[in-house]
Amino acid sequence: MACGVRPQVKVVLASGNPGKVREIQAIAGAGFELVLQSSLDITEAPEPHSTFVENALSKARHASRAAHLPALADDSGLCVDALGGEPGVNSAYYAGHKGNRDERDARNNARLLAELEDDRRAYYCCVMVLVRHPEDPRPLIAEGLWYGEIARSARGTNGFGYDPLFLLPNGKTAAELASEEKNRISHRAAALRKLLELVHAADRH
Give mean pLDDT, residues 91-113: 95
Per-residue pLDDT tens digits for 155-196: 999 988 999 999 999 999 999 999 889 989 999 999 999 998
Strand 140-150 to 166-167 pairing: antiparallel
Per-residue pLDDT tens digits for 44-74: 888 889 999 999 999 999 999 999 999 999 9
pLDDT at 6: 52
pLDDT at 205: 57
Q: Please tell me the pTM assigned to this model.
A: 0.88
User: Is 75 annotated as catalytic?
Assistant: yes
pLDDT at 26: 79
Residue 58: enclosing H or E segment and its boundaries?
Answer: helix 52-67
| Cβ atoms of residues 71 and 11 within 8 Å | yes
Domain contains 1: no
| Cβ atoms of residues 73 and 191 within 8 Å | no
Task: Give the CATH number for residue 40.
Answer: 3.90.950.10
CB atoms within 10 A of CB 49: 14
Number of domains in the chain: 1
Give mean pLDDT, residues 22-49: 82
Domain contains 193: yes
The CA distance from 201 to 204, in Å, is 5
Residue 1's pLDDT band, with cuts at 50, 70 and 90, is very low
The CA distance from 167 to 152, in Å, is 9
Domain contains 3: no
pLDDT at 204: 66
The CA distance from 20 to 11, in Å, is 16
Domain extent for 24? 10-203
Domain contains 162: yes
Per-residue pLDDT tens digits for 105-142: 999 999 999 999 999 999 999 999 999 999 999 999 99
Judge whether residue 30 has pLDDT over 70: no
Which of 74, 75, 105, 136 is catalytic? The answer is 75
